[in-house]
Chains A and B, each alone.
Chain A
Amino acid sequence: MPVGPEEDLSRFKQIVRGKIRKNLRKYISSGELIGRQGKDKISIPLPQVDIPRFRFDDKQSGGVGQGEGEPGDPVSGEEGDGQGKAGESPGEHVLEVEVTLEELADILGEELELPNIESRGKEKIVAVRDRYVAVRRTGPESLRHFKRTYREALKRQIASGTYNPKNPVIIPVREDKRFRSWRREEIPETNAVVIYMMDVSGSMGEEQKEIVRIESFWIDTWLRRHYKGLETRFIIHDAVAREVDRETFFTTRESGGTMISSAYKLCVEIMEADYPSSEWNIYPFHFSDGDNWSVDDTKACLRLLEEKIFPGSNVFCYGQVESPYGSGQFIKDLHGAFGEENEGIITSEIKDRGAIVDSIKTFLGKGK
């Protein structure tokens, strides 16, 4: 007799994992994964693992449907499902494979050969958690343990002979009631914060922002793998900087000039106010197209970096996204000031979507 589907299922999963692995580059650069985040799982719309056959091109063969609509109207329920193929061969299905973010980060790490992040020897900070671990006789009604209470009542009624199997009504009295109770636990944690900065001046177009969005997703995913409580902060800047939420960060488009120092100043303020470097692993990431207003402002930037940001953070990362308008000067200035190899800074030039993978590798490949 067969062993059941478990074995075939696990074979299938292995194949899928291989498939994710192979296509990871594609997924990363197409950004398909993002926007489908659940709480901590992600659904990857994965084409069902198909066995290739000589088959008609669906897009050419069309089909027969049923319902309202004039020629030229779109057909709903499209994408394969609309095929209505009468034969045995099913249309193409899209199978969603759920992968936890942790798994995804692991696959990313294996694929890009990312080293684990070295702890910077930060002090452990202690988080306090309440955990429900015990049961007590007193407590608020909202915490009543239904099952335990029932059991106590049942025990009492059987013992006292008031239990009637024909009419098994159990009525708990006050002594029967049991309540959940909690214990306060102190959990040591290493915390990390990513401070994303982005130039939103006119020269950064949609495509450039999309690249930043995709890249930041993967950076988040990787860092989250290593730090339990990862916080993210977002700063946008043109000539002035302001802190925004994630949504605004990726959607805002300004048209003003560019003063990078404004963002760095704000970043330093945030670091000093909320993230003492003795307790936090701090990752400032800055993305721009490399344009800056003036040489003076660039000087101010370099000073801020050297005096405040490098000492306070694990590593400062600068990603320069190529845009048709940007001069791309800033990265040269950084290299001029700090050299291409510097402990405190990692720079990366991102030409297009295809370069995202390599850029992630550059940023995270040093294990900082």
Chain B
Amino acid sequence: MKAHQHAGGGLPRYLLDIQEDIERHARGYGLDFFPQVFEILTYEQMNMVAAYGGFPTRYPHWRFGMEYERLKKSYTYGLSKIYEMVINNNPCYAYLLEGNSLVDQKIVMAHVCAHNDFFKNNRWFTHTSRNMMDEVANHGTRIRRYVDSFGIEAVEEFIDVCLSIENLIDIHSPGIRRRPEAQPVSEDAVPMFEPARFESKPYMQPFINPREVLEAERERLETEARQKEKRFPQEPERDVMLFLLEHAPLKKWQRDVLSIIREEAYYFVPQGQTKILNEGWATYWHSEIMTKKVLDASELIDYADHASGVTASSGMRLNPYKLGVELLYHVEERWNRGQFGKDWEDCDDMAARRNWDLRTGLGRKKLFQIREVYNDITFIDEFLSLDFCIEHKLFTFGFIKNRHRWEVLSREFEKIKQQLLFQLTNMGNPIIRVVDANYQNRGELLLMHDHMGVDLRPDWADDTLRNLNLIWQRPVSLQTSVGEKPVLISHDGAEVVRRELES
């Protein structure tokens, strides 16, 4: 696989022409993207590249083999076929499947233009590396070197351990400064703890802000600061991987492996955060470009066939492509007809709402704004409406224990939205922080799970704690809840102990 040596040389002339044509149309619409390099892959190469998350030069690990096997099988049995793959990189790499019909290739190119535009312009991608192709290759080289020195068993086992905590990162940290900048410590600088006062006229001071209260407050602040100094970490740390990287007793190569896994985890965060929106955006644009600009009359049937395949909901599963694009159409329609603002919100006359059309024509403009500043959570939170849920027959489902099956639970708008937002929060991962690295004054690690109504899968929690223990090399505990009851799960390297805490 020579992903980046081709640099545009890989495509035959007629496809290059099509690429040029489609890119011209895309630019005409206002899409703004990195230079694109298309490559044609056989389905085997495609499955392979897909198995490695789009990076053919990734480090060796069995799970890529597993993924390859799965893709290969589902391709062979005709269950699924990967049409396109696009890598967030500058230049942007995208892969076409050899032997696809010309219509398919055109769709993919149009689709890729929109993804690429999204990568480049969506704010959530601001902090992501645009040189990931090379970085991943570099990671691969480093890990292969460790494999040569320490053996595949040891390295792969440690990678498994790292992957086990791969989701314990602080997904917003690339955009926010979490830690105060290091300040020069001087011995004689006495920190001042000035309690906040209520505003008052001077003569009212003793009554509004009585001296005793101020004193007590000052004392409280001081003790808190003193305790904080003793605490380690001072503030609970969401980026568990980073904390371990900085403080766990690891060997040098292990530290490096951990940092590689963490870096790649962060790289994939924006993709995860914008899946619905990104896919919706790309589908919106390939459909626009294809139907209005590129499509031959003779290609229409093929196109319709493809489009129905991509946006089909299989069973009752919610298809992110479909949800995204439908919601975008919904928003476009609303903004075209001026269905927003106070008058719209306040109107509860159904007939008036149905025929509401101010001919504002702001739809397209709104979509560009959404592509720039929204992610899936804010997108769903702001635009998923009651009308949309009814029109698209959304519902929530859950597992009914005593009947041992999944059932439709509700069609209430509030519940559907809540469920969707819950699934998207922290990319569907529980929120877990390091709260104490000197737990029980014995150098044990204490993590705290922010329980929000759903328990952790117990067997996996145990195994993950064991892995954490392997890294920390001292007992590791997690405070979580089972149902309503707070529970402390501890792993000391040999066994798991669960202890109920008093609530």
Q: Kindly state whether residue B428 has any CB partner on chain A within 8 Å.
A: yes
A81 CA to B275 CA in the complex, in Å? 17
Q: Which of B68, B410, B424, B432: most chain A CB closer than 10 A?
A: B68
Chain A neighbourhood of B236, CB < 8 A: none
The reply to whether A51 and B160 form a contact with Cβ atoms under 8 Å apart is yes
Known contacts A53-B460, A55-B430, A65-B394; A60 and B65 CB within 8 A of each other: no
In A68-107, the 8 Å CB interface with B consists of 68-79, 81-89, 93, 95
Minimum CB–CB distance for B142 against chain A, Å: 14
Residues of A close to B152: CB separation below 8 A: 11
Q: Which of A1-20 contact B (CB under 8 A)?
A: 1-2, 4-5, 7-13, 15
Asked if A75 contacts B66 (CB within 8 A), the reply is no
For chain A, residues 39 to 78, give those with C-beta under 8 angstroms from any C-beta of chain B: 48-78
* Chain B residues within 8 Å of A76, by CB: 315-316
Considering the complex, give the chain B residue whose CB is closest to the CB of A87: B428
Contact A8 B428 (CB under 8 A): no
Q: Complex formed: what's the CA distance from A72 to B458 in Å?
A: 27
Whether the Cβ atoms of A65 and B461 lie closer than 8 Å is: no
User: In the complex, what residues of A have CB within 8 A of residue B140's CB?
Assistant: 2
Pairs A–B under 8 Å by Cβ, sample size 8: A1-B1, A56-B430, A62-B399, A64-B395, A71-B395, A75-B406, A81-B317, A87-B427
In the bound assembly, the distance between CA atoms of A15 and B61 in angstroms comes to: 12
Instruction: State how many angstroms separate the Cβ of B203 from the closest Cβ of chain A.
Output: 57
Give the interface residue-count category, chain A. 35 or more
Contacts of B317 in A (CB 8 A): 65-66, 77, 81-84
Instruction: Give the nearest-CB partner of A96 in chain B.
Output: B73
For A58, list chain B residues within 8 Å (CB): 399, 457
Given known pairs A56-B457, A82-B406, the reply for A12 and B51 (CB within 8 Å) is no
Using a Cβ cutoff of 8 Å, how many contacts connect chains A and B? 236
Interface residue? B396 (CB, 8 A): yes
Instruction: Decide if A55 touches B405 in the complex (CB within 8 Å).
Output: no
Q: Does B60 contact A (CB under 8 A)?
A: yes
Which of A7, A11, A64 has the largest number of chain B CB atoms within 10 A?
A64
Smallest distance from the beta carbon of A21 to chain B beta carbons, Å? Answer: 16
Given A8-B60, A88-B271, A64:B394 Cβ within 8 A: yes
Which residue in chain A gives the minimum CB-CB distance to B482?
A57
Instruction: Tell whether, in the assembled complex, residue A63 and residue B164 are in contact, meaning their CB atoms are under 8 Å apart.
Output: no
Q: Which residue of A lies closest to B59 (CB)?
A: A2
Q: Apart from A66-B392, A72-B407, A73-B407, list 4 A-B contacts with CB within 8 A.
A: A54-B165, A63-B419, A81-B317, A95-B70
Report the minimum CB–CB distance from A26 to chain B (whole Å).
14
A66 to chain B, nearest CB (A): 5
Docked-complex contact A52 and B464, CB < 8 angstroms: yes
Contact check, B454 vs A71: say whether CB atoms are below 8 A apart: no
Contact A12 B429 (CB under 8 A): no
B residues less than 8 Å from A84 (CB atoms): 316-319
Chain A residues, CB < 8 A from B422: 61
Contact A88 B454, CB 8 Å, known A62-B409, A82-B316: no
Chain A residues near B251 (CB-CB < 8 A): none
Tell me if B442 is interfacial: C-beta within 8 Å of chain A: no
* Residues from chain A with Cβ under 8 Å of B405 in the complex: 74-75, 78
Contacting residues of chain B (445-466) with chain A, CB-CB under 8 angstroms:
449, 454-464
| Assembly CA distance A75 to B396 (angstroms) | 10
Q: Bound complex: CA of A240 vs CA of B96, how far in Å?
A: 69
Which residues of B from 160 to 175 have beta carbons under 8 Å from A?
160, 163-168
Give the shortest distance, in Å, between A149 (CB) and chain B (any CB): 31
B66 touches A48 (CB 8 A): yes
Smallest beta-carbon distance A360→chain B, Å: 28
Docked CA distance A129–B71 (Å): 40
**Contact status A65-B408, CB under 8 Å:** yes
Partner of A74, one of B319, B406, B420, B449: B406
In the complex, the answer to whether B397 meets A64 with C-beta atoms within 8 Å is yes
Bound-state Cα–Cα, A51 to B64, Å: 13
Report the Cα distance A8→B422, complex, angstroms: 35
Contact A1 B2 (CB under 8 A): yes
The smallest C-beta distance from A79 to any residue of chain B, in angstroms, reads 8
The residue among A10, A51, A69 with the most chain B CB atoms within 10 A of its own CB is A51
Residues from chain A with Cβ under 8 Å of B323 in the complex = 86
Question: Which residues of chain A have C-beta atoms less than 8 A from B467's C-beta?
Answer: 52
Assuming A68-B393, A73-B407, is B318 touching A93 (CB within 8 A)? no
Expressed in whole angstroms, the Cα–Cα distance for A56 and B392 within the complex equals: 27
Q: How far, in angstroms, from A60 to B167 measured CA to CA in the complex?
A: 20
**Separation of A360 and B406 alpha carbons in the complex (Å):** 38
The reply to whether A12 and B396 contact each other, CB–CB distance below 8 Å, is no
CA distance A76 to B408 in the complex (A): 10
Given the interface pairs A8-B64, A53-B464, the reply to whether A65 lies near B164 with Cβ below 8 Å is: no
CB contacts under 8 Å to A, within B111-140, are 140
- In Å, the complex CA distance between A1 and B2 comes to 8
Chain A residues with CB under 8 A of B486: none
Which residues of A are found within 8 Å of B276, using beta-carbon distances? Answer: 86
Closest beta carbon of chain A to B60's beta carbon, Å: 6
B492 to chain A minimum Cβ distance, whole angstroms, is 17
Asked if B332 is at the interface (CB within 8 A of a chain A CB), the reply is no
Query: Which of B58, B376, B399 has the most A CB atoms < 10 Å from its CB?
Result: B399
Contacts of B65 in A (CB 8 A): 5, 7-13
When chains A and B are docked, how far (Å) is the Cα of A65 from the Cα of B63? Answer: 29
A82–B314 CA distance with the chains assembled, in angstroms: 9
CA distance A223 to B323 in the complex (A): 55
Contact, CB under 8 Å: A86 / B423: yes
Q: Is residue B341 contacting chain A, with contact meaning CB distance below 8 A?
A: no
List, in ascending order, chain B residues with CB within 8 A of A9's CB: 65-66, 68-69
B residues within 8 A CB of A64? 318, 394-397, 416, 419-420, 423
Residues of chain B with a CB closer than 8 A to A8's CB: 60-66, 68
A230 → B minimal CB distance (Å): 31
**B393 contacts across to A, CB distance below 8 A:** 66-68
- A54 near B167 with CB under 8 A, answer yes
Q: Which of A7, A10, A65 contacts B318 (CB 8 A)?
A: A65
B313 within 8 A of A: yes
| The 7 nearest A-B residue pairs measured at CB | A77-B315, A8-B65, A62-B398, A52-B463, A9-B65, A88-B272, A87-B428
Chain B residues within 8 Å of A59, by CB: 399, 401
Q: Which of B52, B58, B423, B460 has a CB less than 8 Å from the CB of A55?
A: B460
Within the assembled complex, what's the spacing in Å between the Cα atoms of A95 and B70?
Answer: 8
**Chain A's nearest CB lies how many Å from the CB of B326?**
10
Report the minimum CB–CB distance from A350 to chain B (whole Å). Answer: 28
Given contacts A2-B140, A64-B419, A67-B316, contact A54 B449 (CB under 8 A): yes
Residues on B with C-beta less than 8 A from A74 are: 405-408
Q: Which chain A residues (169-199) contact chain B, with CB distance < 8 Å?
A: none
A11 and B159 alpha carbons, distance in the complex (Å): 14
Q: Which B residues touch A70, using CB under 8 A?
A: 408
- Taken together as a complex, chains A and B put the C-alpha atoms of A50 and B62 apart, in Å, by 11
Contact residues in A for B461 (Cβ distance below 8 Å): 52, 54
**Is the C-beta of B48 less than 8 angstroms from some C-beta in chain A?**
yes
